[in-house]
């Protein structure tokens, strides 16, 4: 009897792990809060990366991920059946970030913990390139950085991004192109600035922090 | 093709969704144009940025949040109708017997005071006002006793609270909502039935009416379900037919309850 129950339970677990996000969210909506755990497993790492690449702040990213799941619980009744869950959760994620900055005005500074923490252990050159790239990205206005993060790291399709940002598909493509252009400019400038003192890891301090206005 | 025209195609090219012949056009262009080539290169380079891992305690934090949230909700559902402050302020009312004794003492005091004032100033309104005020206070006191007793752990005491509430012709809205709450969420079938009985006399109150009719969909006990259906027929609730039609759609409905609901529907039509 016990054995059977256990087997039924594992089967249930497995079925749950294969269910589409939307079905799981409907269960959460109907009161099965524990089902949210499966969605957490699926989404917390991508969301963390979305935030950490966007804000460069690991602690804040952890906090915001938790906030997203708390909001899902609070507002689960507003999830409409048929809505793609991915679009919905990213919408919540964006709002959580905006609300956070509304409460705590942003001070973007290059603190040591904000530099990409885990660097690939390949060649020294690649290490340096990665760091430059990270900084080139962080120098961009958040709006442009966001569209790059969404398209390059979150693997959202352009249509999904268009829906998320509330703009046309063509606009998304134009904005991605412009963002890539700017990233390239920043990267080149950093490369040039670095050239004379190649192996200096302390460049972090030499780059003036860029202030972002409330242009989001 | 100009860089501008190529630029329009680049995002699709990045995504790998560009088809021939445009695909070839872009590739030929970037062979010749250093600027566009660099753009493609920087896009590809972005893959160098590592995928970061959330902090180790992330899952535990989530679990704790989920637990806290669900516990909070359950607490609210089972005991949330008396505000926290009121409950602690009336903590001394915990023992129902003590509370009743206190009310009785007040009543006696009220009668004595009333008699005293009444005999001293025979035609004065002041004395009568005082007595009326006392009586109102006493009623309030009794209502508080009911409220406090409805919170008791033992079903017997909650049952007693419900029967106390029946002695009043006029019920305080707070007591009424407490009774509706008891009808919906009390763990004991007997207490729920008693609450329904007490509420049945106050069907004219829209608050009660709605609470009772709404309770049908959530009830699990066939006894309470049947009693609710009967009351809906008795009240000739305008929504009753519609609600019962929805109700009989519920899967796994007890056959007796279903029969009763069908009977009620035939009565209402």
The overall average pLDDT reported for chain A is: 80
pLDDT at A96 over 90: yes
The overall average pLDDT reported for chain B is: 78
Residue A73 forms contact with B (CB below 8 Å):
yes
Considering the domain boundaries, does residue B60 fall inside one? no
Residue A124 forms contact with B (CB below 8 Å):
no
Considering the domain boundaries, does residue B26 fall inside one? yes
Alpha-carbon torsion B178, B182, B186, B188, what sign? positive
Residue B22 forms contact with A (CB below 8 Å):
no
Least confident of B17-21, B29-33, B123-127: B123-127
CA distance B11 to chain A (A): 6
Confidence at B224, pLDDT banded by 50, 70, 90: confident
Confidence at B20, pLDDT banded by 50, 70, 90: confident
Considering the domain boundaries, does residue B103 fall inside one? yes
Domains of chain A listed by start with CATH number = 15-103 (1.10.1740.10), 122-197 (1.10.10.10)
Q: How far apart are CA A103 and CA A97, in angstroms?
A: 10
- Residue B74's closest chain A neighbor by CA? A31
Per DSSP, chain A holds a count of helices (H) and strands (E) of 9, 0
Which one of A65, A118, A184 has the shortest CB-CB distance to B38? A184
Three-class secondary structure assignment of B208-236: HHHHHHHHHHHCCCHHHHHHHHHHHHHHC
Give the total number of structural domains in chain B: 2
Query: pLDDT, tens digit, for every residue of B229-251?
Result: 888 888 887 788 888 888 888 88
Confidence at B126, pLDDT banded by 50, 70, 90: low
Considering the domain boundaries, does residue B63 fall inside one? no
Which one of B11, B47, B59 has the shortest CB-CB distance to A176? B11
Of B149, B164, B199, the last residue of a domain is B149
Considering the domain boundaries, does residue B127 fall inside one? yes
This model of the complex carries an ipTM of 0.75
Considering the domain boundaries, does residue B143 fall inside one? yes
Least confident of A121-125, A173-177, B106-110: A121-125
**Do the beta carbons of residue B178 and residue B185 sit within 8 Å?**
no
Per DSSP, chain B holds a count of helices (H) and strands (E) of 14, 0
Residue B80 forms contact with A (CB below 8 Å):
no
- Residue B65's closest chain A neighbor by CA? A70
Number of CB atoms found within 10 A of residue B130's CB: 17
Helix spans in A19-123 (H): 21-29, 36-55, 58-74, 85-103
| Selected residue with higher pLDDT from B246 and B164 | B246
Considering the domain boundaries, does residue B62 fall inside one? no
pLDDT at A197: 43
Query: pLDDT, tens digit, for every residue of A16-40?
Result: 767 889 999 999 988 887 889 999 9
pLDDT at A46 over 90: yes
Considering the domain boundaries, does residue B183 fall inside one? no
Of B149, B167, B202, the last residue of a domain is B149
Query: pLDDT, tens digit, for every residue of A166-188?
Result: 999 999 999 999 999 999 999 99
Domain span at B106: 87-149
Of B98, B123, B149, the last residue of a domain is B149
Residue B55 forms contact with A (CB below 8 Å):
yes
């Amino acid at each position: 009897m016990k054995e059977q129950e256990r087997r039924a339970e594992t089967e249930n677990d497995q079925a749950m792990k294969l269910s589409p996000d939307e079905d799981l969210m409907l269960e959460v909506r109907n009161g099965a809060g524990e089902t949210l755990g499966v969605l957490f497993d699926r989404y917390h790492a991508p969301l963390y990366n979305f935030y950490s690449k966007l804000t460069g702040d690991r602690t804040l990213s952890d906090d915001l991920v938790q906030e997203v799941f708390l909001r899902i619980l609070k507002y689960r009744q507003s999830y409409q059946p048929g809505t793609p869950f991915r679009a919905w959760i990213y919408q919540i994620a964006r709002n959580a970030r905006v609300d956070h900055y509304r409460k705590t005005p942003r001070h973007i500074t290059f603190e040591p913990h904000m530099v990409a923490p885990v660097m690939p252990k390949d060649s020294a050159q690649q290490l340096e390139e990665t760091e430059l790239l990270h900084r080139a990205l962080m120098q961009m206005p958040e709006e442009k950085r966001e569209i790059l993060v969404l398209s390059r790291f979150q693997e959202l399709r352009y249509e999904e991004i268009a829906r998320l940002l509330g703009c046309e598909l063509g606009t998304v493509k134009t904005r991605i192109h412009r963002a890539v252009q700017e990233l390239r400019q920043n990267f080149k400038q950093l490369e040039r600035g670095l050239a004379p003192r190649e192996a200096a890891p302390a460049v972090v301090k030499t780059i003036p922090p860029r202030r972002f206005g409330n242009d989001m | 093709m100009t860089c501008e025209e190529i630029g329009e195609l680049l995002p699709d090219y990045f995504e790998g969704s560009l088809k021939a012949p445009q695909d070839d056009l872009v590739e030929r262009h970037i062979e010749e144009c250093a600027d566009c080539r660099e753009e493609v290169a920087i896009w590809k380079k972005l893959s160098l940025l590592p995928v970061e891992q959330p902090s180790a305690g992330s899952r535990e934090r989530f679990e704790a949040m989920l637990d806290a949230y669900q516990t909070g909700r359950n607490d609210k559902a089972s005991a949330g109708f008396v505000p926290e402050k009121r409950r602690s302020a009336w903590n001394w009312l915990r023992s129902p017997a003590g509370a009743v004794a206190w009310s009785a003492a007040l009543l006696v005091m009220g009668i004595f005071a009333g008699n005293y004032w009444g005999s001293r100033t025979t035609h004065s309104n002041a004395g009568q006002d005082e007595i009326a005020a006392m009586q109102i206070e006493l009623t309030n006191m009794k209502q508080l006793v009911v409220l406090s007793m409805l919170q008791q752990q033992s079903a017997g005491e909650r049952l007693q609270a419900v029967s106390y509430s029946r002695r009043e012709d006029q019920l305080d809205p707070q007591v009424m909502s407490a009774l509706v709450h008891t009808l919906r969420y009390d763990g004991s079938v007997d207490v729920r039935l008693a609450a329904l009985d007490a509420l049945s006399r106050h069907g004219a109150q829209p608050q009660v009416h709605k609470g009772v009719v709404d309770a049908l969909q959530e009830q699990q006990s066939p006894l309470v379900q049947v009693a609710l259906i009967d009351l809906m027929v008795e009240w000739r609730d305008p929504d009753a037919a519609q609600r019962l039609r929805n109700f009989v759609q519920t899967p796994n409905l007890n056959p007796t309850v279903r029969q009763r609901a069908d009977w009620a529907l035939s009565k209402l039509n």
